[in-house]
Each structure stands twice: as structure tokens, then as C-alpha cells.
Structure 1
Amino acid sequence: MTNTTLITFIIYLVAMLGIGVYAYRVTANLSDYILGGRRLGPGVAALSAGASDMSGWLLLGLPGAVFAAGMNQIWIAVGLTIGAFLNWWYVAGRLRIYTEVAADSLTLPDFLENRFHDRSRLLRVISALVILVFFTFYTSSGLVAGAKLFEASFEMSYTSALWVGAIVIISYTFLGGFLAVSWTDFVQGLLMFLALIAVPVVTMMEVGGWDAVTQEAAAINPGFLDAFHDMTLLGIVSLMAWGLGYFGQPHILARFMALRSAGDVPKARVIGMGWMVLSLYGAIFTGFVGVAYLHGEVGDSEQVFIVLSNVLFHPVISGILLAAILAAVMSTIDSQLLVSSSAITEDFYKQLFRREASETELVWVGRLAVLGIALLAIWMASNPDRSVLDLVSYAWAGFGAAFGPIILLSLTWERLSRNGALAGILVGAATVVVWAELSGGLFDVYEILPGFLFCGLTAVVVSLFGGEVSPEVRAEFARVRSEFDRAR
């Protein structure tokens, strides 16, 4: 990396830390730290949700998968697009209203406890534990991606690269909480979008146009051009099942909860989906045109975006493009750290141990939780052979299977019971853990699919055999439905 590229990169990092310091000054209480006081506008909420969703997987994992296997990897993007749209359409507005009606819930476990009027605290504790377990894997994936970026760009050892990336991300999340995370995600989302348009377009021009790209790719492997190459119906369904994960991702659902009002959802949905579609397919074509330009040869397929950025662009632009990778990594890790911190602070410390704790005390507990979770994730990410895509897929499946059906049912079916929700979460999470250890035949399907189905089925059956819904729960459900109809 040239000195010019390095300076550009450092300026970006300092700017992100500056946002964190400013957010620190306007964060006054736990609601500000966890949800930004529910005052996100539609643009910030949409790009923040998208950036926190996609992570380093968008610029490293997906281009790398297409570079290694060809266009048959496009089915992941198709499934994600459908899932994200349905999440904005069915979940966003209802969840924004319901979390406020249900005792102004600040976290997902908080909402589940209040939605079902669970006095035992069991639903809160179990859901918070699931969040902590799977987010540790998810955060680890982001740290691996960040380390690969620093390792490839600065000629650092993997361990040194891991610590440098982690320190930057931890710093502004520690200071500014949700506002810092959302504002930095907005900036990072724009940067990611521009990078994923620029890199494939410039690379295609260097190769000689689209026809030259397809001819070169076909010469290397004719199957690279075929979306159905080496694919079975089960394989396509398995890749598209990624879309089911959206309904249960706590860091994405937190953006819905933080919107100013449910009336902002339609505008946010248009912005968010436009960003996502162009970014996803920009990542796919980055991997595909990389095959033609690099003749299918690169040391680590997940570094194809990094290689193209360094080879094809002026050092200043290269620095900005590499910063986009860090932006993708940072925008997801900060959100995951914050949600995990919120689970520890709101769902364990405050509810189970220190209900009389002051707002200042809770904010500092949250900051210390960020530090503790990050250190555990750093330890898990210390193996340089870990794949970003593998780590992301496991955590994504865990959240999608454990929480996805429960969120959908809790917002649309008043008969879902506390026991049904609890049983569904346990079955969904356990299915992902067990299924991921199996292989061969039907077991080769992505674990989110059986986990999602078993979770939903269990929740419905247990609820149907349970008692009647309490009048309080029924009244709240009716109020949410009425407010949602008015908001539309």
C-alpha cells in the first residue's frame, strides 16, 4: 500500500472516531445508548440497517464465492432480496409500534417479555442468552474480515491486523452507543454502495467490456456463466433460504424499533431496498469480472475486491475503496456489539440484579459489556483460516431460526403464547446447532431452513394446546393492529 493510500485510509478512521466522540456527548441515558431515543429518520435507519446487515461478507465473502464458483452463487442474493423486502413490509412498522406499546421495550428480549406479560423472566433470559451466543460468532466473523483487510493491505501479521481493526471499532461503539453506530453506518453504507458500483464497472472496462468478460470467464470454466451449474433444486432452495434470516436478526430489528414513527417505514423501505439490490449485485459482478481480469488466480478468493482495488485505482481512490471494506466490517460489528451489550445491560444486569441502577451506571455497564464481548470475539477470530462466509452463515442461521418465526407470529397472531414462543426459540436454536454438525443428503441443506420450520411449527402447536390469551395481551394486540392500520 502506498503512503497516499494509507493517509486516505487513516483520515477515514479518524472521521469515524470523531462521530463516536460527538455521539458520546449527546448520549444522556440508556434509551439513547441502546435505541438513540427512537429518533432515527428513514434515510439513516434504512442505510444503517443495510450496512449493519451486509458486513464484510458483502465485499469479501460474496465476491469471493462468485470468484471461486461462478454465477450459481447468485441464489443467495435472490433469497436475501426477497427476505429483506418482506421484513420491511411485514415486520418494520408493526414492530416499531408494538415495542412502544409493550412498555416501551428497548431490546428484543425486553419486547418478548412485555409482549407476553411474562412474569417469570424466563423468556427474557433465554432469548438474551441466544443473542449472546450467536452474536459472539457473528462478531468474530467481522473481526476475521477486518484482519484479512489489514493483513493484505498493510503487510501486517494476522494477529496484529486483528487487534488494530478491533481497537478502532470498539472505540467508537464504546463511546457513542446507538447514535454513533447509526450515524457511522449511514456514512459507511454510502461508501460501500459507491465502491460496489465503481470496482466492477472499472474492472469490466479494463477487460474490454461485458462480452470480453464473459468470454474470458467461459474460457476458464464454462460453468461460471450458468446460474444452474452444479445446482440441484435442494441446493437452490438452501441458498435462497438465507432470506429467512432477516426476520430474526436483532441488529436489523433494532433499526425498526428506533425509527421516529411507523409512518417513516415506506420511505425507509424504498431507500433500503434500492441500496441493497444495487450493492448485492455489485458484489456479485465484482467477483465475476474479477475472474476475467485475474484469470481465476488469487491467493484467497475472499480478497478479490482488495486485489482489484489496489491494482486498478489511483492510490487515493484505492484508499477510499479499502476503507469501504472496513466500513462494511465496522458497520456490522458495532451493531452486534451494541445489541449484545444491550442484552447484558438491560436484560441481565438491570432486570435481574440492579433494578435501582442509575442511567449513568447502566450506560457504563453497557460500555464495559462491549469491551468484554469484543475480547471474547477476538479470541475466537484468532485462527486466520476461519472463513468469513462460514462464520456469518452459522450466526445468521441461529438468529433466523430462533427468532424469525417468533417475531412474525408475535406481530400477526394474537394466540401465540409465552410457552409457545419459548419452546420455539429453544427448538430453533438447537436445530441449527445440531444440523450444522451433520452432513450428507438432506442434512446438506442450510440449517436455517429446518430450524425456521421447526421453530414455527413448535410455537404454533404449543400455543394451540395452551390456555386462552389474557385480556391484557389481547387488548395490546388490538391496539397495535389499529395503530398500524392508521399509520399505513
Structure 2
Amino acid sequence: MKQNDIVVVLAAFAAYLILMVVIGVVYMKKTKNSEDYFLGGRGLSGWVAALSAQASDMSGWLLMGLPGTVYALGTGQAWIAVGLFLGTVFNWVCISSRLRRYTIVANNSLTLPAYFENRFRDKKRVLLLVSSIVIVIFFLVYTASALSAGGKLFHSVFGIDYHIALAIGAVVILAYTFMGGFMAVCVTDFIQGSLMLVGLLAVPVLAYCFIGSGNLNAMLDESQVIGGHQAYLSMTRNGESSYSFIEIFSQLAWGLGYCGMPHILTRFMAVKNQKELKKSRVIAIIWVALSLFAAVAIGVLGRAYLYPVILGTEGQASTESVFIEMITKIFTQDLRLPFIGGVFLCGILAAIMSTADSQLLVTASSVSKDIYKDILKPQADEKTVLKVSRVTVIVVAVMAFAIAWNPNNSIMGLVSNAWAGLGSAFGPIVLMSLFWRRTNFAGAVAGIVSGGLTVIIWDYIPFINGQTLGTATGLYSLATGFVISILCIVIFSLCTKAPEKEILEEFDRVKKMKEE
């Protein structure tokens, strides 16, 4: 990129980052208490809820991780996208409405751990503590993946040292999350979600125009794709080999994670009313379908469009930079519109920031509201809880920054581990608490603990000839953890005392409530 182009792109980045901080300042003045800070007073509109939920969900994984793995191995990697689409639809259609109603009925629960406590009448606050610990552990890794993606973005575009770039992104995200809380995060996520979608749709269309109709297959062959263009474009191939059932199942299993993602579920809890929630469903499902399809297309078209450059080879950027490299080439070399290119590059930054801010906020809510206020200092006033929240945001950001320090960490790998941990720990108990009347406190504790521990054991402890169970079997830990967690919930619930009459009546009341 030429020096003048770098200046113009940098101006676009600066304008965007300043806007995000200004939003934080505006909403800091409107944040009066912890409900405002964590759920925005349950006042989200349908559009903001939908785009905020999906933007916070997809992260830099959508614009860097997924296109990168498709670029390297082919469209067979799109099974993850299929799983995520199915998971998104299930989450919005089956979970969103009932969870919103139940959290209001269950003592106006502001966080997922608080919902578990109120749902099962956990007076000893075991559920609150266990689920808060799970959130802190896995969200640290998740936030680190977003910060790592930001560092790689700035490094690729401006040539800035990765560690300096990492610090810049962390400081901006920290600034508006610290100040504005939930509404600042949601409004910025709405802007970021819109920007992500425009970039995702425009770049592959432009790349296809430059490649030319009928040239794609030949150019893919020239770029030395594994097995030629037919294997590369086949959904049954995984790089050099054919897909096994376990590999396809593992990729589809990513969709299970949606049921247990606190930063997504809190959007359901915060929507203004059921009418807005219905609107959100349609918007979110359309957004995710278009975005996932476009992300896969970017990986495929990028392979042909960027040739003779082959990413991931010696001296070249990693394959996870394919979207960045495509934007740079299209807007600084072919179209000569560097400012527009800078705006689209901000779309990648938007994806990164929209996830990191949500994760910081959920972690802060777990520490300040669930652990500090509800367990350690029940007498603490709202101002103190708000201060603890903001201090937690800083501490978590610093710890995630440390995890992301290694530039060789894979964004895909970090997201995969965190997604599996949260999905296995919380997904089954969210489902069972909403739809199985017999679920009780013992089952809830067993489900959360068994799900989280299964992922840690499966992914991190080498049992078989120095390999982890995940590596040895090829089975994604989320699939295993989810099943084990559900089994534990059912077994422990049936082997212990049935829920009290009050809990059963509350469940029946929520079930009978109609969508307003």
C-alpha cells in the first residue's frame, strides 16, 4: 500500500474509533444503575437487538477465521457455517422469547447466573458462583481471540508491530465499554453489524467482477488448491482427504453453542417487548444467512483473486488475513478508493470490537453483580457495584491482552475452545431449565460443572500417546460436553428431590404466557 493510501485509510480508522468512544461518553451520562449498565433498562429495539446479538456473536472469526480456513482447505469447511446458521435459527425461534419472559418472572434476573439462581431458588448461591467462574475462565480466552484479531488487522494494514496494534485495539474497546455499559455496547454493535454486512456483501461481488465470469475454476487450479478446483469446491472434501462422519458432525456441532452464550442470551433478555423480539428474529436470521454465505465466498474468491500471491506461504500474511488483503487490493490498486477501503477495513475492526466489548461486559456483570454484590457484599449500593463493574472491565481486558500477546495464536483455535466451554457448560441447562419441568438445583449444578470440565479435559489433557482426546478422536469437545451435560442434568434431577411447588408453578406460568 502506498504512503498516501495508508494515510487515507488511517483517517477512516481514526474517524471510526473516535465515533465509538463518543458513543461511550454519551451513554455514560445515561447510565444510572446496574440494570442500565448490564441490560440497558430492557429497552432494546428489534433492529438494535438483532444486529447487536449477531455482531457480538460472529466476531473476527466471521471475517478472518472462517474465510481463512475456507481459503486454505476449500468449501468443505463451510459445514461450520451450516451448523451456526441452524443454531442461530433455533436460538431465536425456540429460546429467545421464553428466556426473556422467564428472566422477568424469575425476580427480574439481569444476568445468566442470576437467572439460574432465581430459577432454582438457590439460596446458598452455589449456581451463581459456579456459573460466574465458568464465564470468567472461558470469556478470558474468547476476549483474547478478539484482541488477537485486532492486533493482526492493524499489523496487516499498517505494518504496525503486532503488540502495539494489540494495545491500540484493546484501549479503544476498553474505553467505550468502561464508560457506557450495555447500551453503548449495543448501539456500537448495531453500527458495527451494519458495517460488517455491507463489507461482507460488497467485497466478494467486486472480486468476482475482477476475476471474470468463467475464470474462477482455472484460477483456482493455478493457485495450487489441494486436489484441483473440483475437490476444493466440494462439501465432501476436507483438504487432502474426504470428510468422515465425525468431522462433519463436529463442524455442525458448533451450532449447539448458541444455547449457552451469555453475551447473546443477554440480548434476548434486554429486548423492549415481545413484538420487538419477533422483529429481531427475522432480521437476525437474514443477517446471519447472508453473512455466513458471504464469508465462505470470500475464502473461495480470495484464493483466485489474490493469485499469484498465496497466503500462508513463506513471506506472506496468514490465510486468516484473506479479507484484509482483498479489501486492500480492490480499493487501493484496482478501484483507487482508499478511503472506502478504509471504511470496509473498519468492518473487520467492527467485528472484532463488537465481540470483545460484549464479552468484557458479561464478565464484568458476573464479577460485580453475581460475585461481589450477591455473594461477598450484599449491602453494596448501586454506585459501588457500578465502580466494581468498571474496574473488572479493566482487569479482564489486561488479562485477555496477556493471553493474546503471542501473535502465532490462531483466532479459530481460541474461539473454538471458548465456544465449546461456554456452550457445554450453559447450553444444556438453559434448554432444560426452559423446557423440562423436572429440572432441579442438583441437575443444574451437575450440568454446568460436567459440561465445562469435559471441554477442559477433552481439549487440554493429553491422555492418548501425548494427544488430547479431541485430537485423537477428531470429535469437537462441544459435542461431547453438551451430551454429557444433558445426561448429568437428567440423571441428577431424577435421582434427587423434585422441584418445590413454587418452582413448578412458576414454570407453568411462564409456559402459558403468550407472546404479547
For normalisation by structure 1, the TM-score amounts to 0.98
Corresponding residue of 1:203: 207
Is the partner of 1:2 in helix, strand or coil? Answer: helix
Corresponding residue of 1:124: 128
Give yes or no for the alignment of 1:96 onto 2:100: yes
Corresponding residue of 1:378: 401
Corresponding residue of 2:322: 304
Residue pair 1:94, 1:262 contacting (<8 A) in 2 also: no
Instruction: Please report how far the alpha carbon of residue 466 of structure 1 lies from its aligned counterpart in structure 2 after TM superposition.
Output: 1.1
Residue pair 1:218, 1:225 contacting (<8 A) in 2 also: no
Corresponding residue of 1:214: 217
Q: Distance in 1 between matches of 2:389 and 2:475?
A: 37
Instruction: Please report how far the alpha carbon of residue 263 of structure 1 lies from its aligned counterpart in structure 2 after TM superposition.
Output: 3.2
Instruction: Please report how far the alpha carbon of residue 439 of structure 1 lies from its aligned counterpart in structure 2 after TM superposition.
Output: 4.3
Instruction: Please report how far the alpha carbon of residue 354 of structure 1 lies from its aligned counterpart in structure 2 after TM superposition.
Output: 1.7
Residue pair 1:435, 1:443 contacting (<8 A) in 2 also: no
Q: Distance in 1 between matches of 2:99 and 2:274?
A: 9
Give yes or no for the alignment of 1:112 onto 2:116: yes
**CA separation of 1:305 and 1:352: change in aligned 2, threshold 3 A:** same
Corresponding residue of 2:375: 352
Q: Distance in 2 between matches of 1:442 and 1:108?
A: 34
2:85 to 78, 81, 85: 81
Corresponding residue of 1:34: 38
Corresponding residue of 1:167: 171
Instruction: Please report how far the alpha carbon of residue 311 of structure 1 lies from its aligned counterpart in structure 2 after TM superposition.
Output: 1.0
Which string of whole-angstrom CA distances, capped at 9 and with x for unpartnered residues, describes residues 417-449 of structure 1?
A: 101010011111111011113147862111000
Is the partner of 1:337 in helix, strand or coil? Answer: helix
Give yes or no for the alignment of 1:443 onto 2:473: yes
Instruction: Please report how far the alpha carbon of residue 214 of structure 1 lies from its aligned counterpart in structure 2 after TM superposition.
Output: 2.7
1:21-60 maps to which residues of 2 (within 5 A)?
21-60=25-64
1:243 to 255, 274, 282: 255
Pick which of 333-342 and 470-479 moved more.
Answer: 470-479
Corresponding residue of 1:468: 498
Q: Which amino acid aligns with 2:295?
A: A
Q: Distance in 2 between matches of 1:440 and 1:152?
A: 32
Give yes or no for the alignment of 1:14 onto 2:46: no
Corresponding residue of 1:454: 484
Corresponding residue of 1:419: 442
Where does structure 1 lack aligned partners over 5 or more consecutive residues? none
2:186 to 182, 188, 197: 182
Q: Distance in 2 between matches of 1:333 and 1:197?
A: 23
Q: Distance in 2 between matches of 1:145 and 1:184?
A: 18
Q: Which amino acid aligns with 2:197?
A: F
Q: Distance in 1 between matches of 2:99 and 2:275?
A: 12
Instruction: Please report how far the alpha carbon of residue 217 of structure 1 lies from its aligned counterpart in structure 2 after TM superposition.
Output: 1.6
2:305 to 268, 293, 307: 293
Q: Distance in 2 between matches of 1:217 and 1:476?
A: 59
Q: Distance in 2 between matches of 1:393 and 1:270?
A: 27
Q: Which amino acid aligns with 2:219?
A: E
Runs of 4+ in 1 over 3 A off after TM superposition: 439-442
Q: Which amino acid aligns with 1:93?
A: S
Q: Which amino acid aligns with 2:500?
A: S
Corresponding residue of 1:69: 73
Residue pair 2:65, 2:412 contacting (<8 A) in 1 also: yes
Residue pair 1:116, 1:473 contacting (<8 A) in 2 also: yes
Question: How many residues in Structure 1 have an aligned counterpart in Structure 2?
Answer: 485
Is the partner of 2:70 in helix, strand or coil? Answer: helix
CA RMSD of aligned residues (A): 1.1
